[in-house]
Structure 1
Amino acid sequence: MKEFAGTRALFRLALRRDRVVMPIWVLVLGIIPAATAGLYDQLYPDAASRASLTATSGANPTLSLIYGPAFDLSTAGGFAAWRYLMFIGLFLALACLFTVTRHTRQEEETGRQELLSSTVTGRYAPVTAALLVAWLAALATGAVATIGMIASHLPAAGSIAFGVGITLVGVVFAGIAAIAAQFAEFSRTANGIASAILGVAFFLRAVGDSATDLGWLSWLSPLGWSSRLRPFAGERWWVLLLMAGTAIVVTAIAYWLLPRRDIGMGILATRLGPAGAAPGLRSPFALAWRLHRGMLIGWLAGFAAGGALLGSMADGIGGLVGNSAQTQQIIQRMGGASALVAAFLAVTANLLGMIASLYAVQATLRMRSEETAVRLEPVLATRTRRLGLAASHLAFSFLGSALLLAVAGTAAGLLHGLRAHDVSGQLPAVLGATVAQLPAVWVVAGIAVLVFGVAPKAATAAWSVASLSLALALYGPILQLPQVVVDISPFTHIPKLPSAPLTMTPMLWLTGIAIVALAAGLAGFRRRDIG
């Protein structure tokens, strides 16, 4: 057992480092299903509204592409499983793979793992501790979801199937992230490999669930397995064996690969760079472009695809709500408009803005990654000024998020315009609604800069700010939280375009807050010590 020596200490250290972010993930993802189940009777109070929902949504391939198959929409549990099982599994998989990569490959990249390995720490201790933390997060999320659904008077069997299903999805992708950490030398590459596998799994599930003749593709995706477990619709308990077996296999592969590489290196050999830098790398912005371009291109591709998909759904939004007047009123209230399609477009633009804020935080915190990896100090030892270096990175945070929203808005407006046979009218409206989210995105980015500049050791708290803003804006109206709580999110203050009138006052206030936070963060970065 000497190869596992130090696992308990590393596990406690990882829990301490994730003591803020992990509970947020667990609570946000865990309470959503129970909250939705509690509102089901209000949204669909009679058999007629539930039959309409089943007839319109259950057979809608577009909705199956997004949410998965609807096995039973006549019950609150079946509705909650259809709406959130796949999405919670998706976000939990992301949380688990990022957790594993952070506590394995990132520790090696920064050199901290080599220092620990010089002590009594065993070879398998770091990956074991990381997996235990990810498994704990997945188990806690599943437990919160299960307890919450049982407390909402849903059947215990379906609640347990729901909780165990999302838990095993997280466990499977934690193992996949552990494998990616063995192949890649850098944490960004490992995250990219694991995220790409997750994207393929989502694509296989989406195609399999929306095309009746290709349903077998869903059985190739762990995200599809959670739906095929069929919580609240005649549970298939044997699917859990498939998920658990896959989790054991991928975890075993990660342990098998680990001793076949050196610490700090990956199985995939890193290509050596040229002896001299290219002329295009002689400025801070050129270096920042080299560091950010891969991430930006990936986000652009995702936003283009997501915008096109959401835009193509707008005309068919009626199939999502059936004939329930209560549901239509809720969606209209979230969008602030009387027309259901316009309200859906407003919600779509708002959602794209929230996701863009995650990119803005990621791009902003890249400076912190360079700082902790001791690559920032050698650059500042040259003629490069601190503010010039910060500006080169923040250009991608602020302008890059604007580009993401412009691309997504163009794709959504174009697809919606084509389906509505009104491209010239719909494209500018949807594009304007999407770009209007920028002040809220910049507030989140500005707060990230403020944390980085003033309290760099707590820089990861910027993710908590972004997550809280997203959760309050997205689920606050559904959970009927007090408006004063929902207003904490900057996204609740953006005018609900394209149907509501454009009011500049909240836009100017949000922009001013972003500028103040940005200035304060840069001032703190200019005065503090590097490292």
Structure 2
Amino acid sequence: MTSATTAPGTRASAAPVAGGNALAGTRTLIRFALRRDRVRLPVWIGALLLGTLTTANSFRTLYSDPQDRANAVAGADSPANLALSGPRHYLTDDGFGSILSHQMIGFTAVLVGLMSVLVVTRHTRAEEETGRAELVRSTVVGRHAHLAAALSVAVLANLVLALLLALGLTGLGLEGVDAAGSLVYGFAHAAAGLVFAAVAAVTAQFTAHTRGASGAALAVIGVAYALRAAGDSGGDGALSWLSPIGWVQRSYPYVDNRWWPLLLCLVCAVACAAAGFVLSTRRDVGAGLRPEKLGSPTASAALATPVGFALRLHRGMLTGFGAGLFLMGAMYGSVLGEAEDMLQGIDEIEEALARLGGASVVESFASMVMVVLTVVAAVYVVMAALRPRAEETAGRAEPLLATGLSRSRWVGGHLAVAMGGGTVVLLLAGLGFGVAGAASTGDAGLLPDLVGAALAYAPALWVTAGVAVVLFGWFPRAGQAAWIVPVYAFVVGYLGQILQFPGWMNNLSPFGHIPRLPAADLDWTPLLLLTLVAAGLVWLGLAGFRRRDLDMK
């Protein structure tokens, strides 16, 4: 037993001395975050840069003739197409830069926002959820250091991307793609990224879970895109001014080169970041402002099974992807009725559609769009199939496997949800595509055709899950390499059709063996073979997991 005394004439302090540095240790945490993201951030930035430069460079052949560009501009002037791309003002110019900005900014701004959200939640909420933040803050680290470091890394990543985009596009030497417009184009992406990074700083304060913080921020991105699409298709564009994506599009790179809409993004980002810092002082480390709901006192019978337990863990992500792909399919379906007029005169796309076959342009175009929808579904499958690795590294797998639950049943539950959920997501994508497509074309027969075309890709999704489980079972540290499958499928299966990649490249992807319904006839042989390959990969992955040690925590 010990006691403390105070000298006569002095007063004992009832609280810690005020005036500590709330940002102490921020510089060290920034270096640590950059060290942890030394692979992730270059991959993100490199993919966004390469995708933009490849698309811009392809315009040399896609729109080699001024008449091709004029046809593309004329075909884009419809409410449905404006909802997918951007405001009509871009169509007053038929230069390469204007076409690039119109077609790309709305799409890539979403991806930049996704990168920024994941950076912030990874270095704030994820650190608290795993307990590392509490350990770090027990040293000489200020209460705001983690959030400040995360935002600093997001800012740095967006600025690097902006400068690389500006330099890369200028270096292409395309007609109408000048240095001034390229700077506006690059910093438009950075502005969008900063807004959504600051939004993530706010959502990270409300929930105690990383997935909840990321999901709420991604929902904001979805709402921003929907407001932008509704505003641009409506004519007056009023709703677009409620969206950060609408702001950056109205910088009009290569057309007007406005900088002031980007200042709106900066003001919004500063306001949201400040709110994040203030809200972080009103909660405990590891907790959220929103109180946790009390669960049921007894578990359901389904929750006591591996599949039911896995479904409980995946249900939020599965619901989000299902709703998102249904809406995405509906958006693409709404332009099917205008596909022939929209693509008329663009020789390379017409040749790509002709190679796919099909009785009409609508069927051929639908088969190309189906590749995009299935690649997004494959993103869900990879995330779900790699969830066991996240459970293992977080130390939650060990106590489960210490019971009577076998390794194969535990991983099998996650795989069942990944493969079955991927099939459900495909069904919803095809349903949204079919309903909207049938309405826009007046052909009710498109609904079952497009639903069937989507479900035909299910074996390719199962192979994707099989690749992920093989990496998890035998090479767990290389599990992130499973992302190569959907990325390669998009580059070769979609862009490759337009840029005329060699056929053997498409054969390297499981998605390349799926019949391009509804343009092609159904062939069951590749579907059965891919199903067998998926079963073999799952068996191989489970065999590897049974033979290796767990990452112990």
Q: Which TM-score applies when normalising by structure 2?
A: 0.89
Q: Aligned letter for 1:397?
A: A
Name the residue aligned to 2:38.
19
Give the unaligned 5+ runs of structure 1. none
SS at match of 2:238: helix
Q: Which moved more, 1:476-485 or 1:336-345?
A: 476-485
Contact 1:206 1:218 (C-alpha < 8 Å) held by counterparts: yes
CA contact (8 A) 1:450 1:522 kept: yes
SS of residue in 2 equivalent to 1:164: helix
Q: Give the CA deviation at 1:431.
A: 1.9
Q: Check conservation: 1:377, 1:530, Cα contact below 8 A.
A: yes
The answer to whether structure 1 residue 515 and structure 2 residue 538 are counterparts is: no
- Structure 1 residues 166-175 or 33-42, which shifts more? 33-42
Letter in structure 2 aligned against 1:131: L
**Equivalent-residue separation in structure 2 for 1:295 and 1:235 (angstroms):** 38
Amino acid at match of 1:388: R
How much identity, in percent, do the aligned residues show? 41
Aligned to 1:447: 467
What is the rounded CA distance, in whole Å, between the counterparts of 2:47 and 2:493 in structure 1? 12
CA gap 1:444/1:7 in 2 versus in 1, 3 angstroms: farther
RMSD: 2.3
Alignment deviations for residues 455-496 of structure 1 (CA, whole Å, 9 cap, x no partner): 334433433543344334333444555555554433233222
Map 1:277-316 to 2 at 5 A.
277-316=299-338
Are the counterparts in 2 of residues 332 and 338 from structure 1 also a CA contact under 8 Å? Answer: no
How many angstroms apart in 1 are the aligned matches of 2:245 and 2:47? 19
- Higher gyration radius (CA): 2
Task: Note if contact 1:78-1:232 (Cα within 8 Å) is conserved in structure 2.
Answer: yes
SS in 2 for 1:460: helix
Which residue identity lines up with residue 384 of structure 2 in the other structure?
A
Task: Flag the 1:442–1:19 CA change in 2: closer, same or farther, 3 A.
Answer: farther
Aligned residues of 1:33 and 1:81 also touching (Cα < 8 A): no
**8 Å contact kept, 1:31–1:145:** no
What does 1:365-514 correspond to in 2, within 5 Å? 365-423=386-444, 425-478=445-498, 481=501, 483-485=503-505, 487-514=507-534
Bigger Cα displacement from structure 2, 504-513 vs 359-368: 504-513
Match for 2:167 among 147, 160, 164?
147
Distance 1:476 1:25 in 2: 21
Q: For 1:8 and 1:331, how far apart are their aligned partners in 2?
A: 53
What amino acid does structure 2 have at the position aligned with 1:92? V
TM-score, with structure 1 as normaliser: 0.92
Go from structure 1 to structure 2 and tell me whether the alpha carbon gap of 1:463 and 1:134 turns closer, same or farther (over 3 Å shift).
farther
* Counterpart in the other structure of 1:81: 101
The worse-fitting range, judged by mean Cα deviation, of 1-10 and 402-411 is 1-10
Provide the rounded CA distance (Å) in 1 between the counterparts of 2:485 and 2:135. Answer: 32
> Distance between the aligned counterparts of 2:42 and 2:378, measured in 1?
20
Paired with 2:427 and 2:172, the residues of 1 have a C-alpha distance of 41
For residue 54 of structure 2, what is the aligned residue in structure 1? 35
Structure-1 separation of matches of 2:544 and 2:31: 31
- Native 8 Å contact 1:356 1:401 kept in 2: yes
Alpha-carbon offset, residue 509 of structure 1: 4.5
Q: Does 1:328 align with 2:339?
A: no
Secondary structure class of the residue paired with 1:182: coil
Deviations 1:297-343 (A, max 9, x none): 2222222222222222212113433423333224444x455742222
More helix by share: 1
Q: How far, CA to CA, are the matches of 1:514 and 1:144 in structure 2?
A: 39
> Could you say what secondary structure the match of 2:334 adopts?
helix
In structure 2, the residue matched to 1:171 is 194
| Structure 2: stretches of 5+ with no match in the other structure | 1-19
Residue 11 (structure 2) aligns with: none
Cα distance between partner residues in 1 of 2:28 and 2:357: 51
Q: Aligned equivalents of 2:142 and 2:69: distance in 1? A: 57
Cα–Cα, structure 1 residues 95 and 471, in superposed 2: closer, same or farther, change >3 Å? farther
1:265 equivalent to 2:284? Answer no
Is residue 2:60 matched to residue 1:60?
Answer: no
User: Do the aligned partners of 2:335 and 2:440 also contact (CA within 8 Å) in 1?
Assistant: no
AA of the residue aligned to 1:199: G
CA distance in 1 between partners of 2:167 and 2:341 (Å): 31
Amino acid at match of 2:414: H
User: Which residue pairs with 1:357 in the alignment?
Assistant: 378
Distance 1:380 1:294 in 2: 24
Quote the Cα distance in structure 2 between the aligned partners of 1:267 and 1:447.
39
What CA deviation, in whole Å up to 9, does each residue of 1:87-123 have, x standing for no partner? 0111110111012112211121111222222233332
The C-alpha deviation readout for 1:483-514, integer Å capped at 9, x for no partner, is 55554433233222211233445444433443
SS at match of 1:317: helix
| Deviation (angstroms), 1:284 | 2.2
Bigger mean CA offset, 314-323 vs 397-406? 314-323
Give the aligned partner of residue 23 of structure 2: 4
TM-aligned CA deviation for residue 411 of structure 1: 2.6
SS at match of 2:295: coil
Whether the 8 Å CA contact 1:357–1:442 is kept in 2: the answer is no
Whether 2:203 is the aligned partner of 1:203: answer no
Q: Which moved more, 1:483-492 or 1:216-225?
A: 483-492
| 1:267–1:9 distance in 2 versus 1, CA, 3 Å | same
In structure 1, give the amino acid aligned to 2:212.
T
Secondary structure of 1:348 counterpart: helix
C-alpha distance 95-146 of structure 1, shift in aligned 2 (>3 A): same
Aligned to 2:361: 340
Question: What does residue 67 of structure 2 align with?
Answer: 48
Give the aligned length.
527
Cα offsets for 1:249-298 (capped at 9, x unmatched) = 21222122222221111111112324443444322222222222222222
Q: List per-residue Cα deviations over 1:416-453 (Å, max 9, x = no partner).
A: 23333332x32232222211212222222112112222
Q: Distance in 1 between matches of 2:116 and 2:69?
A: 35
Counterpart code for 1:184 = T
Measured in 1, the distance between the counterparts of 2:473 and 2:327 equals 34
Aligned to 2:12: none
Counterpart selection for 1:102 from 113, 119, 122: 122
Moved more, 508-517 or 435-444: 508-517
